[in-house]
């Protein structure tokens, strides 16, 4: 389990905390992923040899790139849409914290260049209510896709968020893909938890955990009753094989059908 699940039960200090590293010896995703916390008034430059995305989890900051300064403010990652800064390798950009801020940082190798972009609730790719009206809404969740191949064709990253209501499933039906992925979790209560599939294994995931998804494993998720579950999802495109859509496991794919409810047992109690 420790190969796939990385725990930080005490949260993260100010500064940058690396969680996964490109080229690490154990279960390498090819993604640098970590948490950056800035104090009020602090400014950091984000120029890197890697393609980089800075997703605001909470706080008020100013993203600066390509001569543009844009305020980004977010009080709740559950209730409010995301802001993110996305830059190609060797591009100059900066982040200034107006209040204390927390960011999820994702980095991958990329030989291509593209214009830096600031994503906001006004221009994220989509915010989709998935699973509504299916399976008695037991897998109904909110999926926010910030960018993927459709709106960032030169990127090697895909970035988004999922909001799972208490007692419900997400990333369902079971699905998989060859491209490496990372999930990073938060809950509506500090003692909140959920369950994460890793193929035939099952992990109990908690606040601040990070899960590495590899080897084309199925990775459905479930939030414990009473606790809303949020997770960031980051996918790395493979050379010549970018991520476009998951492959659903055949034996469960019927649950995506509009006729699925007619097959589901309704209970007699």
pLDDT value of residue 2? 66
Residue whose entry in the numeric block shows the structure tokens 């989709």: 128
User: Would you place residue 269 in the very low, low, confident or very high pLDDT band (cuts 50, 70, 90)?
Assistant: confident
Strand intervals (E) in 22-156: 32-38, 43-45, 51-65, 68-74, 84-87, 93-97, 101-108, 117-119, 126-130, 141-147
pLDDT digits (tens, 9 = 90+) for 114-136: 999 999 999 999 999 999 999 99
Q: How far is CA 198 from CA 3, 109, 217, in A?
A: 11, 26, 6
Q: What is the DSSP letter of 40?
A: T
Which of the residue ranges 48-52, 84-88, 219-223, 261-265 would you say has the lowest mean pLDDT? 261-265
**260: nearest Cα among 139, 129, 170, 171:** 139
pTM of the model: 0.97
User: In CATH, which of 1.20.140.10, 2.60.120.10, 1.10.3720.10, 3.40.190.10 is domain 5-237?
Assistant: 2.60.120.10
């Amino acid at each position: 389990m420790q190969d796939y699940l990385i725990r930080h039960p005490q949260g993260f200090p100010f500064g940058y905390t690396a969680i996964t590293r490109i080229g690490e010896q154990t279960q390498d995703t090819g993604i640098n992923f970590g948490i950056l916390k800035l104090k009020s008034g602090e400014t950091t430059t984000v120029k890197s040899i890697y393609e980089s995305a800075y997703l605001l989890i909470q706080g008020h900051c100013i993203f600066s790139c390509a001569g543009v300064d844009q305020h980004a403010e977010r009080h709740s990652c559950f209730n409010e849409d995301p802001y993110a800064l996305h830059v190609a390798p060797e591009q100059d950009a900066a982040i200034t914290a107006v209040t204390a801020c927390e960011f999820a940082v994702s980095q991958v190798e990329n030989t291509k260049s593209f214009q830096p972009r600031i994503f906001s609730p006004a221009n994220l790719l989509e915010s989709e209510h998935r699973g509504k009206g299916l399976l008695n809404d037991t897998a109904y969740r909110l999926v926010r896709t910030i960018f993927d191949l459709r709106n960032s064709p030169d990127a090697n990253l895909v970035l988004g968020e999922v909001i799972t209501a208490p007692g419900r499933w997400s990333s369902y039906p079971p699905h998989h893909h060859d491209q490496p992925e990372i999930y990073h979790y938060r809950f509506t209560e500090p003692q909140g938890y959920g369950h994460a599939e890793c193929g035939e294994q099952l992990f109990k995931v908690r606040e601040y955990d990070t899960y590495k998804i590899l080897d084309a494993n199925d990775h459905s998720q479930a939030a414990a009753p009473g606790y809303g579950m949020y997770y960031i999802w980051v996918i790395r495109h493979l050379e010549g094989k970018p991520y476009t859509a998951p492959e659903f496991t055949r034996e469960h794919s019927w649950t995506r059908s509009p006729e699925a409810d007619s097959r589901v047992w309704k209970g007699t109690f």
